[in-house]
Structure 1
Amino acid sequence: MVKTEDQKDYVQSLERGLSVILAFSDHRPQLTLSEVAELTALSRPTVRRLLLTLEQLGYVRSEGRYFSLTPHVLGLGYAYLSSLNLTEVAQPFMEEVTKITGQTCSLSALDGHDAVFLARVPAKQVMRMTLTTGTRLPAFATSMGRVLLAGLPEHQLEETLCGLTLSPLTAHTVTDTATLRERLAEVREQGWALVDQEFEEGVRSLSAPVRDTGCRVIATLSMSVPARQYSLEDIKENLLPVVRDNAHEISKRLGASVSR
């Protein structure tokens, strides 16, 4: 097969190595060689070579039949975060949000179809669901994900929506693509998102965009609260302004020219 111009510089072994790393998750912290092969659709001999190489480089450890990631992998994510200087800039504003509201404040970014937590400032009273840095949530059913999706260029958004499976996570989850498009248009228009129990029953979440010097949405500031404690009106009146104001300040520190 003749390679195209774009394919000549494509390193397939790097793609395969990264797919092996990404096969691990909080739901699958330990995997056998066969399980990695199944998840990545790679042959067992290829997976074996990749795992042994990653182990030698310090990214993977083995224990009997099982492999798991090591903290060395965090260096890959840190390279991204440090290049943006995003978490360092956002930290004091996230602390301010938590101080004022008494609720955990999160900073997230889009990765494929998921919103990924980059940093969190926890409140003293932690909600039932335990979420940590690196946790991935489906973008379509979360407020932070909708802010991130709404911030995509139109062609990119269409590509992303075409590959989405809108599974019903609760009785409230939007599972119709046309309806989701309408919700995203609303988010883009109003500059924030509020999602009512679509990801988890009894939990409402709100998010506001964080923009870079080109005014592109690169992250979100978000918060989740118990529905029994906060009505939608309470959220809009008491929590949303705090989240929006601090997301605005982070954006300004990152060089964005934004107005309230």
Structure 2
Amino acid sequence: MEEQAAYFVKSVEKAFDVLLAFTPEHQRLTVSQVATLTDMTRASARRFLMTLADLGYLRADGPAFELTARSLDIGRSFLAGLTLPGVAEPHLKDLAARLNETTALCVLDGADVVYVVCVPSPRLLSVSITVGTRFPAWATSMGRVLLGGLPEPELQQYLETVQLHRYTQRSVSSIEQLRAEVDAARDRGWSMVSEELEEGLRGVAVPVRRGNDIVAAANVSLQTHRASAEDVERAVVPQLQEAARRIALDYSGPVTGHRPTHRSA
């Protein structure tokens, strides 16, 4: 195990472990459940839960605890200072309205993609994703676009440490296959992932650039019965690339060098 620095405060790490135990799948947790998820004793978990409740980040409801709105304060300053979501949202709203599909903007955070903007489809039945949602980068079109923008040493380190999981029968099953998908996304300027993370769901993503750097990925998510992969490539990718170009232009001014291109099948 890597030795921790002398300044490292273990109790801070444990407090965040407790907060991060609460997920969309685990919105209400008991002391015993938190203890199991965080590898703490029940007594320790109870002390952290009670302290966080006293500070207003958690609320006790009978034997269970749940996050409060104050927990949003932790990330609010980051999102407020990150101007890209504010710049991107109008363009993604326009794209969602034109395509009648869900659009989003994601950034890379460690091994995950994190949604910083999400515009639901105008249709009643749409992909249910919110700001702050995380997915493994390797399993998503956004992640493969963002991984393709990493310097080679960082990408290689990622590939050496990532753990693949078969979410569906179509999920990539080897590092070699993943590397090929990332390389393809980099070469053609977009990525499509069909039913690798969830059955019936197809996602397509393109990079959003600042200068020559990829700073985010713009995405359209849709149900597979809505359009074939060929139709998405022909009709959705060019519009998504144009939206990404407009986002980049508003975010950082005219971009020299790389321009999005689309190659027909």
TM (norm. structure 1) is 0.89
Residue 244 (structure 2) pairs with residue 247 (structure 1): yes
Does the 8 A contact of 1:211 with 1:254 survive in 2? no
205 and 38 in structure 1: CA distance in 2 versus 1, 3 angstrom threshold: same
* Matched AA of 1:137: F
Taking only the aligned residue pairs, the percentage that are identical comes to 36
| 1:22-37 paired onto structure 2 within 5 Å | 22-37=20-35
- Show the counterpart of 1:76: 74
The one-character-per-residue Cα deviations of 1:212-255 (angstroms, maximum 9, x if unpaired) are: 46x43332110112222312221112111111111122223332
Paired with 1:127 and 1:111, the residues of 2 have a C-alpha distance of: 29
- Show the counterpart of 1:59: 57
- Show the counterpart of 1:232: 229
Paired with 1:32 and 1:9, the residues of 2 have a C-alpha distance of: 31
Q: 1:181 Cα shift?
A: 0.6
- Show the counterpart of 1:182: 180
- Bigger drift between 116-125 and 57-66 goes to 116-125
Give the alignment partner of residue 163 of structure 2, picking from 158, 165, 186.
165
Paired with 2:48 and 2:139, the residues of 1 have a C-alpha distance of: 34
- Bigger drift between 19-28 and 93-102 goes to 93-102
- Show the counterpart of 1:9: 7
Paired with 1:127 and 1:170, the residues of 2 have a C-alpha distance of: 22
- Show the counterpart of 1:44: 42
Q: 1:193 Cα shift?
A: 0.8
Paired with 2:133 and 2:14, the residues of 1 have a C-alpha distance of: 22
Give the alignment partner of residue 136 of structure 1, picking from 117, 134, 137.
134
Gaps of 5+ in 1: none
Gaps of 5+ in 2: 260-265
Q: Report the 3-state secondary structure (helix = DSSP H, G, I; strand = E; otherwise coil) of the residue aligned with 2:118.
A: strand
Residue 92 (structure 2) pairs with residue 91 (structure 1): no
Does the 8 A contact of 2:202 with 2:223 survive in 1? yes
TM (norm. structure 2) is 0.87
* Matched AA of 1:97: L
Q: CA RMSD in A?
A: 2.2
* Matched AA of 1:238: A
Paired with 2:32 and 2:159, the residues of 1 have a C-alpha distance of: 31
Aligned length in residues? 256
The one-character-per-residue Cα deviations of 1:92-112 (angstroms, maximum 9, x if unpaired) are: 111121122121111122233
Q: 1:151 Cα shift?
A: 2.2
Paired with 1:57 and 1:216, the residues of 2 have a C-alpha distance of: 40
Q: Report the 3-state secondary structure (helix = DSSP H, G, I; strand = E; otherwise coil) of the residue aligned with 2:226.
A: coil
- Show the counterpart of 2:189: 191
Runs of 4 or more above 6 Å deviation: none
Residue 74 (structure 2) pairs with residue 114 (structure 1): no
Q: 1:126 Cα shift?
A: 4.2
Q: Report the 3-state secondary structure (helix = DSSP H, G, I; strand = E; otherwise coil) of the residue aligned with 1:89.
A: helix
Paired with 1:253 and 1:111, the residues of 2 have a C-alpha distance of: 23
Does the 8 A contact of 1:142 with 1:199 survive in 2? yes
